[in-house]
Amino acid sequence: MIESIAKASRSFLEAPRVSRQKKDALFEQACRVALVAQEARSSDKAIDKAVVAERRKLLKAALAMVASGASAEDIEAAMAAQPKAEGGAEGDPGIELERAMVDSGCRALARNEHYSVVMRRMTAFLGPEYFDKAEAWLLERSKRRRGHAESLVVPGELPDVIRILAMDKRNLERAMRASGRDIATAALAGCPQESMDLVRPLYGRVGAAALEDEAAHLRSKLSGDEIAQAQAAFLEVLRNLEERGELRLGPEDELSADPAFVAALTRAVLGLDTAVIKGAFRLAEGALVATAMQGMEPQAHDRILEALSKKEMRRILNAIDDADPLPRHAVQGAGRELAARLFETAAAAKSPRAELERLAVVRDWES
């Protein structure tokens, strides 16, 4: 988008000679082109239909070039060869603005870019005041398209690698940028939803929605072998970055707590009285609980949640949703702290000695 804004003539962004009414009409034109880009992903006839329906001569001609298979370079040359509009040395500013927008949008359409990118490229010429308007339009389109995408998880190590990278968002962002959007999105198309959820915070609301939409599109378009090839390419980029010292992939066992620690903490929680759990968790910070629960087995999660009130359960679940996967030392540190608080509550409630001993084992665990 930065490139598009940079290429948008400063006179287009600031010239008062282009009326608000004209800019609003061009915004609607950008919406039409973005919709064509969206529909063209699922229908080979979408652009042909758009040519027939379009009334603006300039856009109709450019869309016809896209439908005929013209390249982005051909479209750019054709737009540049258009005679200047009458109205002065620089031509009529409204028509020149339209020409620039049609050129940018149809070149993006010829490159099969995502509809949100097409929209951003075109509306960049209208100036900053249209940025929020374009974002609102894109978010509304995203909500309408949101659904339950089919799952196509390609077996491999990429989901675990993404979890490792997500421990430092800078590493994950560096990996996504280095691999390029095409490879990264195709690779994510074969990952579980958890991987996409870890990547989404790197982008804005519109960017994240576009990324997920693109992955869903590729999931339905590419074969499992093609997605596997993209994942292999993504991992090769990571290996090259690691060899050059630009990022560090930690060992896989850093991803989760020691199995013995998990078993001990799970046993301790399962053996507690409901009142003890309620008392300790009422005062525990959501982030602490969410981190500690990464070091428990699922039955311990169920035991905790069923003991809490609906309000407390929502608080903990929200904290879990917001929590990032953390390395072993962080998970076990939170588990020890939670065990210490549970021990104090259990001791005050005069819980059986066996329960206190199980909590003490976790509290005093040596990493």
Q: Mean pLDDT of residues grouped by 10 in the chain (367 residues)?
A: 48 61 91 89 85 90 91 88 56 85 92 87 89 84 56 68 81 88 88 85 80 83 84 89 75 61 89 88 82 83 84 82 68 86 89 89 83
The two three-digit tokens of residue 335, written as one number: 């588990």
The predicted structure's pLDDT at residue 141: 77
The model's pTM is 0.49
The CATH number of 158-250, from 1.10.220.30, 2.102.10.10, 3.40.50.300, 3.40.50.1820, is 1.10.220.30
In 3D space, the residue among 64, 99, 107 whose CA is nearest the CA of residue 83 turns out to be 99
Domain residue spans in the chain? 2-145, 158-250, 256-363
In 3D space, the residue among 204, 76, 225 whose CA is nearest the CA of residue 136 turns out to be 204
d(CA 251, CA 161): 10
Instruction: Compute the chain's Rg from CA coordinates.
Output: 27
Q: Return the number of other C-beta atoms located less than 10 Å from residue 53's C-beta.
A: 11
- Asked whether the beta carbons of 90 and 103 are under 8 A apart, the reply is no
The predicted structure's pLDDT at residue 248: 67
Question: What does the DSSP 8-state code read for residue 86?
Answer: S
d(CA 109, CA 36): 8
d(CA 123, CA 57): 19
**Residue 252 backbone dihedrals phi, psi, to 5 degrees:** -60, -30
The two three-digit tokens of residue 182, written as one number: 């095409």
Burial of 233 (C-beta count, 10 Å sphere; 0-12/13-18/19+): middle
**CATH code for the part of the protein at 256-363:** 1.10.220
- Work out the widest C-alpha separation in the chain, in whole angstroms: 93
Within this chain, domains 158-250 and 256-363 share the same CATH topology: yes
The two three-digit tokens of residue 148, written as one number: 């339950």
d(CA 199, CA 196): 5
The predicted structure's pLDDT at residue 112: 85
Q: Return the number of other C-beta atoms located less than 10 Å from residue 8's C-beta.
A: 21
Ordered DSSP codes for 270-300: HTS-HHHHHHHHHHS-HHHHHHHGGGS-HHH
d(CA 134, CA 140): 10
Question: What does the DSSP 8-state code read for residue 364?
Answer: T
